[in-house]
Amino acid sequence: MRCQKCGEKAVINMRQHKLALCKSHFLDWVPDQVERTIKRYRMFTRHDHLLLAVSGGKDSLSLWDILYRLGYSADGLYIGLGINGGVNYSENSLEYALNFAKERKLLLQVKDIQAEYGETVPMMTIRTHRGRYKPCSVCGLTKRHVMNQLARSQGYDALLTGHNLDDEAAFLFGNTLSWVGSYLVHQGPVLEANRPGLVRKVKPLCRMYEREMAAYALLGGIPYIQEECPHAIGSTSIYHKEILNKLEADRPGAKLSFYLSFLQARRNGLFSPSADERAESVHTCSKCGQPTSAPGLCAFCRMFSKTEDYLLSNQLDGL
Ligand code: Q46
Ligand code: ZN
Ligand code: ZN
């Protein structure tokens, strides 16, 4: 197979785009595609101060590399969740993120959940019973809270995540199977800051296949943590990804078309906020100042207040 741009030996064949490329043309093609996505969805400009959530995995590190190559100014944020899972997952992933930042002299902010809130995500999960002992629910809530809090307090213009097309299509598939309208209304490449206290969220890799991002990291010489988070193993989202991969194998381009058709349907007004949602008044959490649908504390502060009570009672017991 030959590169369609220069005729050299191709290293990747992307059936979904009917395109085969050599290493050097592929490494130029990926940033070019991401730049088009940034412009198409008016995500941000080169004047904006960006904060990228960095996990140490291939997507976020590749995105950081791409932004750097394209001349955008993006700082990284690594959130230490305290996940071990028998593979020192959090410690190792931090190492990859730190090395990446150091080599390119980029700023990586590190927030350690246990240092900040007294307990790791798995500890909070066991004690609060949130998510039936599966940490993903506590983890998602914590990450969203910490990312928004830091982006807001330090005046960043947008918060970026490395979600790729496979992530977005699997999320969409799951929400379509159960018709979770409230998620479908809000899913997309850009989540506007439509409530006071929220920072704009964007996903510049939303049109890039996971396979393309893995190839970019590999060919671009970007070391990243290869292991999945131990809590992702056996998850519904991975199961949905596998189903979509089968569909993609038979019909190249199916994932992209599923996602893009959804975005088009949404633009055409197929989904709209429910009457409940429209009537919902926005409240501000009395503790952290972030928006919440009910008066009083937001979901994160409610969960964390149980940690505070628990830690305090432990201290009192020790007196
Ligand atoms: S990091 Fe956290 Fe994921 Fe691990 S505990 Fe679940 S949500 S799987 S992106
Ligand atoms: Zn070429
Ligand atoms: Zn709060």
Average of per-residue pLDDT across 34-45: 98
Count other C-beta atoms under 10 Å from residue 265's C-beta. Answer: 12
34 and 63 Cβ atoms separated by less than 8 Å: yes
309 pLDDT above the threshold of 80: no
d(CA 67, CA 56): 16
Least confident of 36-40, 69-73, 82-86: 82-86
Between the CA of 37 and the centroid of ligand 2 the distance, in Å, is 22
Question: 132 falls in which pLDDT band (50, 70, 90)?
Answer: low
pLDDT digits (tens, 9 = 90+) for 242-268: 999 999 999 999 999 999 999 999 999
Least confident of 52-56, 234-238, 260-264: 234-238
d(CA 52, CA 76): 5
Ligand 1 atom having least distance to the Cα of 229: 4
Could you tell me if the CB of 169 is within 6 A of ligand 1? no
pLDDT of residue 89: 96
d(CA 64, CA 219): 15
Ligand 1 atom having least distance to the Cα of 55: 1
Could you tell me if the CB of 57 is within 6 A of ligand 1? no
62 pLDDT above the threshold of 70: yes
pLDDT of residue 120: 93
Between the CA of 18 and the centroid of ligand 2 the distance, in Å, is 15
Higher pLDDT, 144 or 310: 144
Question: 128 falls in which pLDDT band (50, 70, 90)?
Answer: confident
Q: Whose CA is nearest to atom 5 of ligand 1?
A: 136
85 pLDDT above the threshold of 70: yes
Q: What are phi and psi of 166, to 5 degrees?
A: -65, -40
Ligand nearest to the CA of 286: 3
237 pLDDT above the threshold of 70: yes
Q: Which residue from 54, 62, 38, 1 is spatially nearest to 219, judged by alpha carbons?
A: 62
Could you tell me if the CB of 140 is within 6 A of ligand 1? yes
200 and 190 Cβ atoms separated by less than 8 Å: yes
pLDDT of residue 195: 84
Between the CA of 313 and the centroid of ligand 3 the distance, in Å, is 22
58 pLDDT above the threshold of 80: yes
Average of per-residue pLDDT across 141-159: 97
Between the CA of 140 and the centroid of ligand 1 the distance, in Å, is 7
Ligand 1 atom having least distance to the Cα of 140: 7
Give 38-42's long-range contacts (Cβ < 8 A, gap of 24+): 38/204, 41/189, 41/190, 41/202, 42/190
Between the CA of 305 and the centroid of ligand 3 the distance, in Å, is 10
pTM of the model: 0.94
Between the CA of 63 and the centroid of ligand 3 the distance, in Å, is 30
Could you tell me if the CB of 229 is within 6 A of ligand 1? yes
Between the CA of 301 and the centroid of ligand 3 the distance, in Å, is 4
311 pLDDT above the threshold of 80: no
Record the tokens describing residue 162, joined without a space: 């490395």
pLDDT of residue 171: 96
Tokens 């904060």 belong to 51
Testing ligand 1's pocket by substitution, the residue of 143, 164, 229 carrying the most ligand atoms inside 8 A of its CB is 229
Could you tell me if the CB of 87 is within 6 A of ligand 1? no
Question: 275 falls in which pLDDT band (50, 70, 90)?
Answer: low
Average of per-residue pLDDT across 56-65: 98
Higher pLDDT, 234 or 142: 142
pLDDT digits (tens, 9 = 90+) for 179-199: 988 889 889 999 999 888 899
